[in-house]
Amino acid sequence: MTTKQMKGFEDSYVVEGKMALPYTYFAGSVGSKFITTIRDEKKIMGVKCPTCNVVYLPPRQVCDKDFTDIRDNWVDVGTSGMVTNFTVVRYDDKHLPRKAPFVLALIKLDGADTPFMHILEECKLEDVKIGMKVEAVFAKETTNTILDIDHFKPVAERASIHERNAGRKKWVADAEPAIQGKQKGGKPDMSKPVIIAAALTGAATMRNQNPSVPYTPAEFATEAYKCWKAGAAMVHVHAREDNGMPTHDHERIRATYNAIKDKCPELIVNLSSAVGMGKTTEQRISQIIAVKPDMASLNTNTMNFSIVDRKTGKIFIEYVFENTFTMLQEFGKAMEENGVKPEIECYDMGGLDNTLLIAKQGFFSSPMNFNFVWGVAGGQSFRADSFIAMMNALPANANFTTCGVGPEEFPCIMQSCLLGGHMRVGLEDNIKMPNGELAKGSYELVEVAVNIADSLGRAVATTDEAREIMGVRKK
């Protein structure tokens, strides 16, 4: 202790002292496990109250809402979360872990219900916001304290596909026409942006399977818009009645088509010329001629198209999907004559060969666009070598995309993207995410496709680029 005279108070002096008392704070079993788990496993653990289901962070012994003993009910709450509150500390003091200015924040980790405090760094003070996503950065050296999490930092939010596309050079076709051989010999042409299509409904996927299946024109418009936002350049549509039944009604189909175009004018809309089971030839093609969409599906062979139990092999619904040579020819001609670009659906190599035969008549405009469909009960299952065989059988300048039923969706689009082809996803083909959870909508499956393109370094095609690549009329 030291004494000092107070300025201006000659009759008073002060004694300079300190309250510094050593103290041992036991962390208890809960606090100890919390800290050691951070230190040893880089995991942040909370405790869940079995009575009220609240996951507490920091962990504690007792739920203060219902007085339940919760000390052993550990849950991993993850290492990323959201800022729920913060302040910028603008003063320096002994108790502060950083020089001012720095940010202290309340952070709600994804698996916890209560936010906890920590330091937020690696971002500008003015960029800190309630709701921003952050993740833990663990300390290099342990102190056996809460500072074994050194701080939290913002999770870089990926720019949207549209922002990213605006920031790159637009793709233009080579002056020299692409040669078929470019896609041969194990050297896929990945220079073209990849076109992502979202098949929003199909004829058979119903709302009891996935509540995001659109039925009304307005629902189609909303779903299509979400898919476009996520990176799709095209949607494939089977219009539905309000009760979910596939329809060949021109007015309903036109209303659906227009609703999508009104909401998202640049998106390519591809209508089905299959429509649904039991539709007549006339019902199937007249609506295409009436509505004249950007693109329409063109099916290439008569085949079984059944619903079977894939585990037991038992047949639920038996159906022959009729696509005679005449239909292939007449539908194809009708489409070309009406400025509708056919998307040629090949369920196996036979369908492809049928098309190549008919194509000798010369009415198909170049480039031809093929879709390899996998996993239909009656068509072929996805096999990597079959895919390559089909790709190698394509005419020069042809484009190919692919889609697969159920879990075949992901491997087939990945292979297509890898080989320079395009990708189709959506609730028509598959209702689940790769982890088996229901997709929140076709847009979530589009996000998966965007991730595949990203991981292969392929740009995602804008709608303009997609039109140019596929030879679809300008919007």
Partner 1 sequence: MDRAAIIGVGMTKIEKSKVRDTFADMAWEAVNKALADAGMTIDDIDNVVTTSSDFWDGRTISCMAVGDASGAAHKNVTCVEGDGTYGAFYGMTRSLSGSYKTTLVTGHSKGSQSISSLITNSAFDPIYERSLGMDMVTACAMQARSYMHRTKTTPEQMALVSVKNHGNAMKNPLAQLPMNITVNDVLKSEMIADPLHKLDCSPVSDGCAAVIIAHESVATKFKQKPVWIKGVSFCADSFFFGDRDLSRVKSLTEAAKKAYAMAGIKDPKKEIDVAEIYDAFSYQELMWLEEMGLADDATAGKLLEKGDFNIEGRLPVNASGGLLSGHPVIAAGLYSMAAVVKQIRGDAGGFQVKKAKTGLVQGLNGLGGQSHCVWILDQEK
Binding positions for partner 1, rule: CB under 8 A: 6, 9, 11-12, 14, 17, 19, 25, 27-28, 31, 34-35, 56-58, 60, 64, 84-91, 93-98, 104, 106, 108, 114-119, 130, 145-147
Least CB distance to partner 1 at residue 59 (A): 9
Of the two residues 118 and 467, which places its CB atom closer to partner 1 in the complex?
118
Angle at 185 between CA 182 and CA 188, to 5 degrees: 50
Using CB atoms within 10 A of its CB, is residue 41 exposed (0-12), middle (13-18) or buried (19+)? exposed
To partner 1, the closest distance from the beta carbon of 92 in angstroms equals: 10
Report, in Å, the least distance between residue 113 CB and partner 1. 9
Phi and psi at residue 406, in whole multiples of 5°?
A: 65, -140
User: Within a 10 A sphere around the Cβ of 362, how many other Cβ atoms?
Assistant: 7
* Phi, psi at 99, each rounded to 5°: -70, 140
SS3 167: coil
- Tokens of residue 48, six digits: 């869940």
Distance CA 227, CA 339 (A): 25
**Residue in the block written with tokens 């039944």:** 245
Q: From the CB of 156, what's the least distance to partner 1, in Å?
A: 24
CB of 155 to partner 1, least distance (A): 20
138's tokens = 């663990």
What angle separates helix 217-230 from helix 250-263, to the nearest 10 degrees? Answer: 40
Q: How far is the CB of 16 from partner 1 (least distance, A)?
A: 10
**Nearest by Cα to 374 from 358, 385, 357, 387:** 387
66 or 330, CB closer to partner 1? 66
Q: Is the peptide bond before 367 cis (omega within 30 degrees of 0)?
A: yes
